[in-house]
Structure 1
Amino acid sequence: MNTKRATLAYGVGDDEEPRQTGEAGGSAEGAHGASASTLLHAGDEVRPFDAAPFPSLEEARERVQSVRRSMPDDAGLHRLSERLKALADPSRLAILNALAIAELRVSELAEAVGMSQSAVSHQLRVLRAARVVAVRREGKNAWYSMADDALVCLIRPGQQ
């Protein structure tokens, strides 16, 4: 048996018998309950971990600064939070699903989602305030549509 290799695997010297190392009780069981003998056997080649080298402190600082520059400011995060809150209601999601398919008027939306016109109008007010839906006026008619095509991907995955 090659004791130099076993030294790395079991922690023995050239003149000792292989033994498992670990806690005071001599157990070499790891966090997942596997002992060192089940992971490495005498004669197994032990290679260094093939991980990328740790970045220098300066590289880490540069990466953090780059991330900070790319993040929105507090006002931008607040606007995003408000938009996401507007999406967190089943009635509004039903309306948005309908609008992701076609531009509709309130009466058409009410019929499509099975809600009253006043309930749809109330939900549209919330969605307009969050800038999730857009309104286009044509005479006496107001046509509603998704304000952002990117939301269509979120509301109806796989369809645009």
Structure 2
Amino acid sequence: MTSDNRLGPHSEITLRVNGKPHTLLVDHRRVLLDLLREDLGLTGSKKGCDHGQCGACTVLADGRRVNSCLLLAVTLDGSEVTTIEGLSGDGEEPHPLQRAFLERDAFQCGYCTPGQICSAVGMLAEAAAGHPSHVTDPAEPSGRPVPLDRTEIRERLSGNLCRCGAYPRIVDAVEDVIR
């Protein structure tokens, strides 16, 4: 850790972002979203509310969906971060959810779309791992994959807001991927 009274405390961290290692000197107050957008030039994740309420900034940290506008970058030392730019892996073919969003026209202005897609990727992993949601039938066996119907999908994506109201097509796109 280093400290400069004008700048505040800093620490060197290493992140793997979209499969590439990055070693950065980071101010302890810097959030992941600003690091991604300003330091690494990854502008897919959007700053919507800057309060963790809209989900436009959603990325995956070690496979879990997070609001990057709230997460201090210094806490992620050694973590794997995946943004919308890294979902396709090789960059050649779009991720199945990206393709489904395009095919279903599951966006209007597109501002929330990167966060919606990253959230959907994380949500699919959570359901596959057996994590229940508020609407999961209590009779479902614990620890087994949770079946995803429209109600489950809507509940699990409820932290991602769309001002344009593209919700029905977003749910359609997710359903296309799980079929």
The answer to whether TM tops 0.5 is no
Q: TM-score, normalised by structure 2?
A: 0.24
Structure number with greater CO (CA < 8 Å, separation at least 6) is 2
Higher strand share: 2
Q: TM-score, normalised by structure 1?
A: 0.25
Larger radius of gyration: 1
Higher helix share: 1
